[in-house]
Structure 1
Amino acid sequence: MKPAQALFAVLAAWAMVLLLCAAPRGVDAATACDATKLTPCAGAIIGNAPPTAACCSRMKEQQPCMCAYARDPNLKRYVNSPNGKKTMAACKVPVPRC
């Protein structure tokens, strides 16, 4: 399985968990935490490509959810990875301090 496919599979699984659970504490009710919305960022986080406009838009939309993603055992390696942090910086999204 290619790294991008693996990320998509993990993000899809996480989305299912989010659909079954309430939004994490501290997240605005208008923000729907859905890790699959970050799939446009797969190339930047996994492949070290520059983030696209779609990636940055989604990253900003999902910013309130980043701590929840950083705590999830399946997603934290992407949030905390050097490329994940570089992508957040390029998109002007603060790295979560949870």
Structure 2
Amino acid sequence: MMMVAILLANTGLVKGVDCNPSFLDPCVPAFKDPKAQVSDACCDNLEEKKPCICVWYKDPETSNYFKMPGANHVSTSCGVEFPYPKTCD
């Protein structure tokens, strides 16, 4: 049982949702530039992958996206609230 949990954590699966970081790719321009238009693909991915947001927030490879200048703009535009460290404990 412990091995299954470790494997799921390492593959980025959360409650049957694939948390591959590539789902953030359409959001990268808007994360980097708060004046950039947030694409429908970005918002669709964030909405569909809401359970992954804390996974991405905790992952050193993706956590910086949520600290970039456009993160609040992406969150507001997509209507998807980004976590704060306490909400991802």
Task: State the TM-score, normalized to the length of structure 1.
Answer: 0.66
Equivalents in 2 of 1:36, 1:81: separation in Å? Answer: 17
1:19-72: CA deviations, max 9, x gaps? 992445xx321x111110121111111133120111100111221111111111
Q: Which amino acid aligns with 1:57?
A: D
Q: Which has the larger radius of gyration?
A: 2
Residue identity (%): 31
Task: State the TM-score, normalized to the length of structure 2.
Answer: 0.72
Change (3 A) 1:36 1:19: farther
1:67 has 2:68 as partner? no
> 2:27 pairs with 24, 32, 41, which one?
41
Q: Which amino acid aligns with 2:72?
A: K
Contact 2:12 2:20 in 1 (8 A): no
Tell me which residue corresponds to 1:85.
72
Equivalents in 2 of 1:64, 1:56: separation in Å? Answer: 14
Which portions of structure 1, spanning 4 or more consecutive aligned residues, are displaced by more than 6 angstroms? none
Unaligned runs of 5+ in 1: 1-17
Contact 1:33 1:62 in 2 (8 A): yes
More RCO (CA 8 Å, sep 6+) = 2
Equivalents in 1 of 2:63, 2:27: separation in Å? Answer: 15
